[in-house]
Amino acid sequence: MPEIIPNWHPILVHFTIGLFGASALFYLLTLPRSAHRNAFRMAGRLNLWLGMLMTVGTLLTGWYAYNTVPHDAASHEVMTTHRNIALITATVFAVLTVWSLRQVVLGRRESTAFVLILALATAPLATTGFYGGELVYRHGVGVLSLPDPDDHHHHGDDAHEDDGHGDHADEHEHEHEHEHEHEHEHEHEHDADDPDHEHADEADTDHADDEERSHEH
């Protein structure tokens, strides 16, 4: 068995649901009078029979999964519900399959009651599938590893994040330039208001003049 799945049940169950669902649809198409009623009836029979054949494998692998796949108390309750509804549904479809085969042997067509019961049987079929999905997607039964959402980003999200970073960078640069201009203006104001600074500048100028005179002498 491939390592990507712990059990064949998830593969076979799709055939059971698909074939039984298609069978019900084809049989419903036989109710209106049309030139294709016989073709629809034959398609309904074949899907029903093949669906029952695949359901044998679905039940066997499902029972094996029920007893071997690791699970906890919460998921065990859902597993049991899934198993019970699946057994009831399979029994109903088994009776319908035998009923259909009997009609073929007797050379008769399936009655309207047969078609309606088959259509109603798709309700527990869908319910069984719902609980199977709950086991995997809500309880993680049979899941070998869980994805890390932080390890993957869609291209659209990356572009959005890049735009956000670019906007933040532009804002930061603008703020930095504004602060630099403000500090520069503040230094000019401080120099203009500080008398000691002016005296220091005059002293430096007088000292430079004295040095020039001494060099001349």
Mean pLDDT of 80-89: 96
Mean pLDDT of 16-42: 96
Residue 174 has pLDDT above 70, yes or no: no
Measured CA distances, 107 to 13, 14, 103 (Å): 32, 31, 6
pLDDT tens digits along 130-161? 999 998 888 878 777 777 777 777 766 554 55
CA dist., res. 17 & res. 21, Å (int): 6
pTM, full prediction: 0.67
The alpha carbon dihedral of 114, 62, 139, 149 has a sign of negative
Mean pLDDT of 76-105: 96
pLDDT for residue 73: 87
